[in-house]
Amino acid sequence: MANTSPSGRRTALLASAVAALGALTACGTDGAATGATTSAVTDGTAGAARQSSATGTPPSAAVSSPAGSGERPPSRAVPSDTAGSASASARSDGRCHTSELRASVGRVDPGAGQRNFPVVLTNVSSRTCTLYGYPGAAFTDSSGSQVGPDPRRAPGSPQKVTLAPGRSAWAGLSFASPEVSGARAVTPAVLLVTPPDERDSLRVEWKGGKVPVGGTASTVSVTVLDAGTGP
C-alpha cells in the first residue's frame, strides 16, 4: 500500500466533503420542485384547467373546487343529445292544448260530387302556441255514440303552424255526397275534433247534413292542418 503524505490526505478529505454537499443540494432542489407541481395541480381553477386541457376539454368548462377544500368536485353528467332534447322539449311545451282552442266548421264547398268542409281551430289563449299534423275527427249522434268509422288521413306533408292569440288553422274534411254515391248515410249531431297530440276533444254542432257511414264511396278524409280558416 502506497504511503500518503498528510497534505495528500487533507486534499482527499476536502474533495469528499465538497461532493457530499453537492449531492445534498441537488436532493433539496428536486423535492421543492415536486411539491410546487403537486400544489398547482390541486389548487382550484388553475389545476382544473390544466387537467381539462390534458383530457381535451376546453379550460372554460373546468369547474374549480371550493377554496381550501383540496378536493375535485364531482363530474357533471351531460346529455348525449342536448340539442335534440332541447328541441323536443320546446316543441312539446309550445304546442296548443285542447283547453286553449276553439273548434268550428266552416261553410261547405261543394264540387264534382264532393262535399268539403274546413274544420277550424282557433287559439283563444293569451299565448302563442303551435299545431303540427292532423286533427282527430269523429261523428257522433245525440247520445254521444260514434257513427261511421274515423276519417282517414289524406296524403300530405305536415308543417308546424304557429298561432298567435286569436289566429286559426284549418284542415279539410271531405267525403262524396251520399246523394251521388249512393252510400248509406246518417245525419250526425256532433263532430268531435281532437287537436294533434292531445287526448281531449272539442264538440262542434254538426250542421252539414248527411254523412256517408257505410257502403260504396263511404270514406271520409281529413287533411293536414294549414294556417288560416279555409282555402
| Residue numbers of the domain that contains 156 | 98-227
- Asked if residue 69 belongs to a domain, the reply is no
pLDDT of residue 218: 87
Instruction: List the beta bridge partners of residue 175.
Output: 115, 220
121-131 pLDDT per residue, tens? 999 999 999 99
Tell me, yes or no, whether 155 lies in a domain.
Answer: yes
- C-alpha 47/C-alpha 53 separation (Å) is 10
- Structural domain includes residue 25: no
In a domain, 6, yes or no: no
Task: Answer yes or no: is 130 within a domain.
Answer: yes
At 107, the pLDDT band (50, 70, 90 cuts) reads very high
Span of 28-37, 77-86, 104-113, 118-127 with lowest mean pLDDT: 77-86
Cα–Cα nearest to 181, from 229, 115, 132: 115
pLDDT band with cut points at 50, 70 and 90 for residue 215: confident
What was the pLDDT predicted at 216?
75
pLDDT for the residue 42: 34
Predicted local distance difference test score (pLDDT) of residue 93: 59
Q: Is the pLDDT of residue 11 over 70?
A: no
Q: How many domains does the chain have?
A: 1
Q: What is the CATH number of the domain that holds 139?
A: 2.60.40
Say whether pLDDT at 229 is over 60: yes
pTM, 2 dp: 0.60
Q: Identify residue 209 by its one-letter amino acid code.
A: G
Which region holds residue 202: left if phi is over 0, alpha if psi is between -120 and 50, else beta? Answer: beta
Q: What is the pLDDT of residues 93-103, one digit of tens each?
A: 599 999 999 99
- For residue 208, is it within any domain? yes
Per-residue pLDDT averaged across 60-78, rounded?
35
14 C-beta neighbours (distance < 10 Å), count: 10
What's the mean pLDDT when you consider all of the chain? 72
> What sections of the chain are H helices per DSSP?
6-41, 44-54, 82-94, 178-181
